[in-house]
Amino acid sequence: MIYWELKKIFKSKIGVIIAIIFILLCGSMALIKPQMETQKSHRNEQYDLIKDTRPARVIAQEKLDAKIGTIREAANSQEKDDFSKAMKEISHKKLKSMENTKYSDVSFWKVFDYRATNTLMAFFMVVILIIVCCNIYTDEIVSTVENLILTSKNKNRALYSKLGLGILIPTVLYGFYLVIQFIITAVQYGLPINGGLQVIRIIDNPILVRDAYTIIQFIILKIGIMILILATLGVIACLCSFLTTSSIAATSGFLMFIIIPKLLTMVKVIPGNVQMVLNSINFVNLLFYFNQFAGVYYGNVKFFGMNFDLINLCLGILGMTLVAGITMSIVSFKKVLVR
């Protein structure tokens, strides 16, 4: 049934729109890149761009030395509270795992990491989810196919396949996107090398990274978290489609789900620990400030007298949101879709 659903989507106008958006996404991302480790520039008081003309390797080594120096400072800092104590331990671990302090070429990984979880990519993926998943069931109502589905012997298979697409579509599309960007980046910067070196070589702020990850480990972690976010949004978009009778209502419900937690972060009466979680877990921040969430350490948050790692707690909430979305969709098959 999933194959039939996919075939129906890609034979329709929606399929053409998705293909155009996806091609536009892959093409535009192939043209952008971060400032490389071998480059350095700044703007003066007149806002003129001043470029460092020293040899690329000298610039890159200077940047790496500065990052290592920052980590050493954190490792030698005073333990004022639990957060500084944890940061000191993490910094010691990073220094201990650093076998080589000389610059090595990591251009491929720097660019691929930037493209793999870029905000523009996340925006395009959300647009695709709105187009496909928010219409996954409401289209059947508009085309009067709903009654045929609900009275069919294959009702459950049809409905579960639609729900499955909420996870499958963002995961597969994101997977295709990663493969395409991997190939494009390899063509532009050469095959990936030095992926086993420490991740501080490709990121701008090495202090907040929560462990002594290698480059490959860190990128895999970020990709996994992005898949969790997109799959959760896909399931919620499908749920909105199951619970409403029009595309506009489903899209509105989906956007409210994304925006309301962000608005709640501005409500001052909410307790500080809840505010911390909302600031980290709301989907606006997750999509637009992803690099400030994935793989970083922001300390603990206290609930019911117990300390929880803030980011791990947020990941747990994301996982529970995904499970809740699936559960509520299944319940809607039995309780709501008999309207």
Q: What is the mean pLDDT of residues 288-294?
A: 90
Q: What CA–CA distance (Å, rounded) separates 239 from 234?
A: 9
**DSSP character at residue 117:** T
With H, G, I as helix, E, B as strand and everything else as coil, classify residue 330: helix
pLDDT in tens, 212-247: 899 999 999 999 999 999 999 999 999 998 888 788
Share of the chain above pLDDT 90, in %: 49
Inter-residue contact 178 to 170 (CB < 8 Å)? no
Spatial separation of the C-alpha atoms in residues 56 and 279, rounded to whole Å: 38
Instruction: Using the CB atoms, write b or e for 229-259: b if 16+ within 10 Å.
Output: bbbbbbbbbbbbbbbbeebeebbebbeebbe
Q: What is the pLDDT of residues 251-271, one digit of tens each?
A: 999 999 999 999 998 888 888
- Model-wide pTM > 0.75: yes
Q: 54-109 pLDDT, tens per residue?
A: 888 999 999 999 999 999 998 888 877 888 888 999 999 999 988 888 999 999 99
Three state DSSP letters for 14-82: HHHHHHHHHHHHHHHHCCCCCCCCCCCEEECCCCCEEECCCCHHHHHHHHHHHHHHHHHHHHCCCCCCH
pLDDT at residue 183, rounded to an integer? 96
Q: What's the confidence (pLDDT) of residue 163?
A: 86
Least confident segment among 4-8, 180-184, 298-302: 4-8
Q: Residue 179 pLDDT more than 90?
A: yes
Element (H, E) at 249: helix 247-264
Res. 272 pLDDT band, cuts 50 70 90: confident
pLDDT surpasses 80 at 45? no
